[in-house]
Amino acid sequence: MMPNIVPFNESPKPEDSVANMLLELFFNFKFWRDHNHMISEDYFEKESKKIFDVVNMSHTKYERDLTVAEVEALIFAENPMLTGSQRAAILDITRRMKGDIQVDVGSDILQAAFREQLGDTIANLGLQLMEGKIKDLSPIQELLEKYEDGIEVGDDLGFISNEWDDMFKSNKENYPWTWNLSQLHMLCPGIGPGTLTTVFALVETGKSAFAVSTAFSPRGFADQGAKVLMVCNEEIAERTMDRAGSAYSALETDDVVNDRLKGRVSWDGIKDNIFMVNGDQCETMERLNYIITKGGPFDIVIIDQLDKMQVRGTFTRDDLRLSQVYIKARTLAKKHNLAVIAISQAGAEADGRTSLRFTQMANSKIGKAAEADVIIGIGKENTETQDDNFLRYLHVSKNKLGGSHGRATVRIEPKISRYVD
């Protein structure tokens, strides 16, 4: 047994050299990206830890493979107060790196130790459950959800079908859920399982209203029969649910209170297709994965806003965190065979523009845009009087689902959270 491969707060034995043997592999950017979450802060000690810390920092900044010479130079630059003996100890480790363990073997070593230590930890939690020290299975479930990406299981190699009828499906089969705005539908055939759509705009433009209108107003996704889960971390879910009711019934808030029967009768037609959760109950992508697994199946998941979600890992820049969040969103779409709609924020340069391109999304270089199948920017013009003319411009600047790029002009009816042609 090799202890301390996985992050369960144990330190390696002094005589255990496996840590240093594996350290060189983390100079490889892809290996680090795929395996760094399996290593705890305490796995490496003393000088080895200094090396690993610099490797972590450098990969998040440079996103490429590192040479031994580069790592040595960065270590000394970041740690100018090192003593001569500490410098010698670091060089003793780096200069003995000979590539004795290759990437494939190193990955197998980490995977095997990861599974073994994870199994021991789950067994210990099971004993605590039997002894009454924990009262439910949530610690075990959370542990599995947190580390599921580090375990490779199953014999399914993932080969897709090569049957002719499977290769050429209609848009309706691939993208069964269609936009209820005719101009937008002409640009995009719809959304379907495994797809990620990003919708972004400036504040006070109507991002949440767009999500509510396309999902919950007449001919929206829920009205088409889709089971829709919405994560509300922009405004409280209770308020968003009220807006969904107004959007579907066309009743403003005062009218809903005064005419409950009319609203209730119309709402009963779709309410069983609508699920909402507050952001404080779903702060991380791992938690969202758990909710989908336990509460589903769902056809569509809307996250308003995805940028506020957290994800496992340490990031030196927010654009790196956001890139990982969007990668996770796309993974959820494929894993659970559903469509994800991510609501996001536009940068300040989008002010007054009516055609927003994906490069104008806030706090992102290209990581957010790279993951999406469809990107829709909601533009709003600045009028001379500064009054809202309620015109909105839906610019499709990325479209991998067929259809085309282009702009649709629509109107927003904010009192009932509807977008209309």
Pairing state of beta strands 406-413 and 418-420? Answer: antiparallel
User: 198 and 373 in contact (C-beta within 8 Å)?
Assistant: no
With residues binned 3-state (H G I as helix, E B as strand, rest as coil), the percentages for the chain, rounded to 5, are: 50, 15, 40
Q: State which of 111, 126, 153 marks the end of a domain.
A: 153
Token pair, residue 394, equals 């839906």
Long-range pairs for 33-36: beta carbons < 8 A, 24 or more residues apart: 33/59, 34/107, 35/107, 35/110, 35/150, 36/313
pLDDT in tens, 337-359: 999 999 999 988 889 899 999 88
**pLDDT range class, residue 113, cuts 50, 70, 90:** low
- The answer to whether residues 84 and 182 belong to one domain is no
- The answer to whether residues 339 and 413 belong to one domain is yes
Per the model's pLDDT, the better-predicted residue between 57 and 200 turns out to be 200
pLDDT at 253 over 50: yes
Q: What is the number of other CB atoms lying within 10 angstroms of the CB of residue 5?
A: 27
The share of the chain scoring above pLDDT 90, in percent, equals: 41
> Stretch 202-220: mean pLDDT, rounded?
95
Strand 274-278: give its sheet, edge to edge: 274-278, 228-232, 300-304, 339-345, 196-201, 374-379, 391-399, 406-413, 418-420
- The answer to whether residues 7 and 88 belong to one domain is yes
- The answer to whether residues 333 and 301 belong to one domain is yes
pLDDT at 65 over 80: yes
CATH number at residue 98: 1.10.860
Q: How far apart are CA 313 and CA 321, in angstroms?
A: 8
Instruction: Evaluate whether residue 400 is within a structural domain.
Output: yes
Size of the chain, expressed as the number of residues it contains = 421
Among 83-97, 116-130, 242-256, 392-406, the least confident range:
116-130
Instruction: Evaluate whether residue 368 is within a structural domain.
Output: yes
Per the model's pLDDT, the better-predicted residue between 42 and 383 turns out to be 383
pTM of structure: 0.65
Instruction: Evaluate whether residue 415 is within a structural domain.
Output: yes
- The answer to whether residues 294 and 184 belong to one domain is yes
**pLDDT range class, residue 8, cuts 50, 70, 90:** very low
**pLDDT range class, residue 53, cuts 50, 70, 90:** confident
Instruction: Evaluate whether residue 166 is within a structural domain.
Output: no
Instruction: Evaluate whether residue 387 is within a structural domain.
Output: yes
Q: How far apart are CA 384 and CA 382, in angstroms?
A: 7
**pLDDT range class, residue 185, cuts 50, 70, 90:** very high
Mean pLDDT of the chain: 84
* Separation in Å, CA 107 to CA 5, 56, 221, 309, 331: 11, 18, 43, 29, 21
- The answer to whether residues 135 and 204 belong to one domain is no
User: 366 and 326 in contact (C-beta within 8 Å)?
Assistant: no
DSSP, res 310:
B
- The answer to whether residues 344 and 222 belong to one domain is yes
Among 41-45, 246-250, 288-292, 309-313, the least confident range:
41-45
Helix (H, G, I), strand (E, B) or coil at 414: helix
> Stretch 196-222: mean pLDDT, rounded?
95
Instruction: Evaluate whether residue 158 is within a structural domain.
Output: no
- The answer to whether residues 133 and 175 belong to one domain is no
DSSP, res 221:
T
- The answer to whether residues 113 and 177 belong to one domain is no
Token pair, residue 343, equals 């609501």
pLDDT at 47: 83
CATH number at residue 416: 3.40.50.300
pLDDT in tens, 362-414: 876 677 888 899 999 999 998 878 889 999 999 999 999 987 899 999 999 99
- The answer to whether residues 139 and 211 belong to one domain is no
Instruction: Evaluate whether residue 159 is within a structural domain.
Output: no
Measured over the CA atoms of residue 291, residue 323, residue 146 and residue 109, the dihedral's sign is positive
Bridge partner list, 197: 341, 374
Q: How far is CA 199 from the centre of its chain?
A: 14
Q: 180 is in which domain, residue-wise?
A: 171-420
Q: How far apart are CA 51 and CA 191, in angstroms?
A: 46
pLDDT at 311: 87
pLDDT at 146: 59
- The answer to whether residues 142 and 175 belong to one domain is no
Assign residue 225 a region (left: φ > 0; alpha: ψ between -120 and 50; beta: otherwise). Answer: left
pLDDT at 328 over 80: yes
pLDDT at 43 over 70: no
pLDDT at 155 over 70: no
Residue 283 CB partners (closer than 8 Å, separation 6+): 233, 309, 310
Q: What is the number of other CB atoms lying within 10 angstroms of the CB of residue 180?
A: 22
pLDDT at 364: 65
pLDDT at 192 over 80: yes
User: 67 and 113 in contact (C-beta within 8 Å)?
Assistant: no
What is the count of structural domains for the chain? 2
pLDDT at 361 over 50: yes
Residue 336 CB partners (closer than 8 Å, separation 6+): 292, 293, 296, 297, 298, 301
In the block, tokens 């439910």 appear at 136
- The answer to whether residues 25 and 101 belong to one domain is yes
**pLDDT range class, residue 2, cuts 50, 70, 90:** very low
pLDDT at 111 over 80: no
Among 109-118, 146-155, 397-406, the least confident range:
146-155
Q: How far apart are CA 88 and CA 96, in angstroms?
A: 12
Q: What is the number of other CB atoms lying within 10 angstroms of the CB of residue 259?
A: 12
Q: How far apart are CA 42 and CA 110, in angstroms?
A: 15
pLDDT at 153: 46
Instruction: Evaluate whether residue 215 is within a structural domain.
Output: yes
Long-range pairs for 285-289: beta carbons < 8 A, 24 or more residues apart: 285/309, 285/310, 285/311, 285/312, 285/325, 285/328, 285/329, 285/332, 286/145, 286/146, 286/311, 286/312, 287/145, 288/231, 288/332, 289/145, 289/332, 289/335
Residue 106 CB partners (closer than 8 Å, separation 6+): 22, 25, 31
Amino acid making up residue 27: F
